[in-house]
Chain A
Amino acid sequence: MTLAVKAKSVVKQFGNIRALDELSFLIKHGEIYGLIGPNGAGKTTTLRIICTLLLPTSGSIRVFGLDPVTQAKEVRKIISYLPEEAGAYPNLSGKEYLEFMAKFNTKNQNELRKSITEAAKISGLNERLRDKAKTYSKGMKRRLLVARALMTRPRLAVLDEPASGLDVLHAYHVREIIKTYVKEHDVTVLLSSHNMLEVDYLCDRVALLDKGKIVVEGKPDELKQTYKSENLEEVFAKVVGYA
């Protein structure tokens, strides 16, 4: 079994605050893995460490066998990160933005064109890709960014709250993209979300995070069964002692 991510006893300290506390988990190649938990649980910190933005205070992380600390450049070549509140450059058109980003991954003109075509298909923005990003609605911008994250077919896509703040239709579109595109193209996904419905629908396995630690991990259906709950929200409440 190939491991996409292997985290072992990862600690991240911000001054006196321990954001991650001996965090360990494994993500298998090709699966959609969800990190869920309340605000401040350490979800975004975990994603940022995997994506080479932050350094762990201690512990180790491997992304397809690569160390994000010592092999950051190599890791960046195989991952794609979608931050929770990411934006696009307001004065670039959607197409220009996609081209700008794709050029970091390939210099080959054919591959570049292929990536842009792929992104246009994923985003569904069609003619609107010619317009400047500042004219986009929040939902359109998010679709553009999801397309950007997936267009280069990364080995690992790290998506922080991919459908956050979107209306029902845009959220549905984004989830469908992730579900279908990822399976079709053999992309591993690590996502974080507050939306239990989303996680339940998308993820093969989930980890419930609280105070920088994984409190429980497993397949959504198994977790619901084990904790005799109707949904993951209830599972989480039971695990952390709110219910």
Chain B
Amino acid sequence: MLEGFATIIVKELKELIRDPKILVGMIVLPLIIFPVLGLVLGYAVESAQEQAQRATLLVVNNDGGNWSQTFIDYVNRTMNVAVISDKNPKQVVSQNLLSDYNSTQFVEIPVGFSQNMTQHTSGNPTITALVNVYGVFQGGGILSNIGSTGFISAVNSFNRAVAPDVVYTTQSTVIKGEIQQGVAPTTLSGLLISQSIALPTTLMIMLTYAMQIAATSVAMEKEEKTLETLLTMPVDRFAILMGKLSSTIIVAGVASIAVLFGYNYMLGSITLGIPTAGSVDLVALGLVPSALGYALLGISLFITLLSALALAVIMSAFSENVRGAQALVGYLYPLIYVPALALIYLDINTLPLALKAILFAIPYSQPIIASKSVVLGDYTTVIIGIIYVAAFTLVIMYVASRLFATEKILTAKLRFKRRKSKKA
């Protein structure tokens, strides 16, 4: 054994364990984030499954034969089925029949279904029957299609019971009220998974980094002992705060633009990267944000960053040095990580109201919600989010300005010192 090794390792462990930054970053945060995330995802998956079971499958029976009725009865054993007839898919969409039946997907059994079934079961296996499946695109996360696979399972089960491969399905998607023939909702979701992951991940990194910079700017003044001098200069305290925030706002603005460029390039790459035959063009499908969408997304990103920076400045005012400020800012990370990771998997629109309210209330969720909403052209949600974060930011800025205007900017440190000395 190396001489002195044990002594060194004991000392190192003591230093590491007693460092709040290590405690928070490596032990406390994972202990909080992952269980919370597990609870959120578990609850969301459970409720999505329940919702899928409760949801109605609208069947448009344009065939009217015996086999179509048998097929409907079979599906009805596992799903809530509502049946209508004599409607073409465009009429179903344009007449809002889906919302009338509280459904997000419908199936058309076309004319000739029963005849084809009869021929197939009478010894002509080359003839198959077709059903057309239409799913409504809802944006969403990785788990957002959890309910849409139910019907395909029912068809597979029907085939196993009647004859192998007798019923085939075509899949199409209803996007913004338009039917996109041959674009399967699952294919689309697969393509948009990268979108669901990329922005939240980038945002997590960007917010964490920006908050560290902002916290450091005040903490550095304390650590280098320049703040006291600065506060006695003939300059408005609010000007000091705004000067500090403005420099980080500029960084935040540049960061927002960089994110938007990267995000736009990524969406373009998805379209361009897929071979032409059978490809899905997100631009042609209208699943890339419009200019207004990008502008709103940019505002949402910027204002969220601003609010995070202001909060970081406040937190850092309570620390004595850079290391302390970084540790304090670390306490805010669950508010960034939990909604970002949750929204990678979930579509906020399909969540139960309580969970939806909680995620919406966390300001750092807003750009992620906005990124999904602008794709769907739901600008109202984005604007409400921007107004909410703006109000939150104003409150934070007011608190920060009060903090700078009073002696608390210095005495917060004094209190910590006193507590330590009492303990000693």
Contacts and interface: CB of A to CB of B under 8 A. Distances in A.
Interface range on chain B: under 10, 10 to 19, 20 to 34, or 35 or more?
10 to 19
Contact of B228 (A83, A88, A89, A104): A83
Contact of A101 (B233, B406, B410, B415): B233
A238 interface: no
A87 B234 contact: no
B418 interface: yes
A76 interface: yes
A145 B225 CA distance: 11
Contacts of B236: 73
B232 A53 contact: yes
A165 interface: no
Contacts of B225: 83, 85-87
A45 to B, nearest CB: 10
B226 A89 contact: yes
A156 B229 CA distance: 15
B407 interface: yes
B418 A79 contact: no
Contacts of B414: 14
A89 B234 CA distance: 18
Given A17-B418, A76-B234, A104-B234, A81 B228 contact: yes
From A53, A79, A101, A105, residue with most partner B Cβ within 10 Å? A53
Interface string A77-117: 10111110111111000000000010011000000000000
A145 to B, nearest CB: 8
A49 B234 CA distance: 16
From B224, B411, B415, residue with most partner A Cβ within 10 Å? B224
A35 B411 CA distance: 22
A176 to B, nearest CB: 22
B235 interface: yes
Contacts, number: 59
B411 to A, nearest CB: 7
B226 A105 contact: no
A84 B264 CA distance: 53
A14 B411 contact: yes
A82 B224 CA distance: 14
Interface in B375-424: 406-407, 410-411, 414-415, 418
B231 interface: yes
Nearest to A51: B232
A171 interface: no
A15 interface: yes
Interface in A116-147: 145
Nearest to A50: B232
Given A83-B225, A88-B226, A55 B407 contact: yes
Contacts of A76: 232-235
Contacts of B233: 76, 101, 104-105
Interface string B205-249: 000000000000000000011101101111110000000000000
A3 interface: no
A48 B411 CA distance: 11
Contacts of A148: 229
Nearest to A106: B234
A53 B410 contact: yes
Given A17-B418, A81-B232, A87 B407 contact: no
Contact of A77 (B229, B231, B234, B418): B234
A83 B229 contact: yes
Ranked 10 nearest A-B pairs via Cβ: A87-B225, A87-B224, A104-B233, A81-B232, A76-B234, A83-B228, A77-B234, A51-B232, A85-B225, A54-B407
Interface of B: 224-226, 228-229, 231-236, 406-407, 410-411, 414-415, 418
Interface of A: 14-15, 17, 48, 51-55, 73, 76-77, 79-83, 85-90, 101, 104-105, 145, 148
5 contacts: A54-B407, A87-B224, A87-B225, A89-B226, A101-B229
